[in-house]
């Protein structure tokens, strides 16, 4: 189920929700999104 999350994909996902990714925030936002996505996948796998 894992899909790679890159800056362009994140931008598209945010814009679909009416949000804009500022270039100066891109690296931190992408890093946070990747961390949260990985954590969610680990939680899903651990769930009974």
Predicted pLDDT at 4:
74
Which residues lie closer than 8 Å to 30 by C-beta, 6 or more apart?
A: 5, 6, 7, 10
- Please write the tens of the pLDDT for every residue from 1-48: 346 788 898 899 999 999 999 999 999 999 999 999 999 999 999 988
Which DSSP helix (H) or strand (E) runs through 41? helix 26-46
Predicted pLDDT at 37:
92
Please indicate, yes or no, if residue 44 is contained in any of the structural domains. yes
Count structural domains, the chain: 1
Predicted pLDDT at 6:
87
Domain coverage including residue 42: 23-48
Rounded distance between C-alpha atoms, residue 15 and residue 40, angstroms: 22
Rounded distance between C-alpha atoms, residue 44 and residue 39, angstroms: 9
pTM listed for this prediction: 0.71
């Amino acid at each position: 189920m894992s899909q790679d999350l890159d800056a362009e994909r994140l931008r598209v996902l945010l814009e679909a929700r009416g949000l804009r990714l500022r270039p100066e925030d891109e690296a931190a936002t992408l890093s946070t999104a990747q961390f949260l996505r990985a954590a969610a996948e680990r939680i899903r796998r651990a769930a009974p």
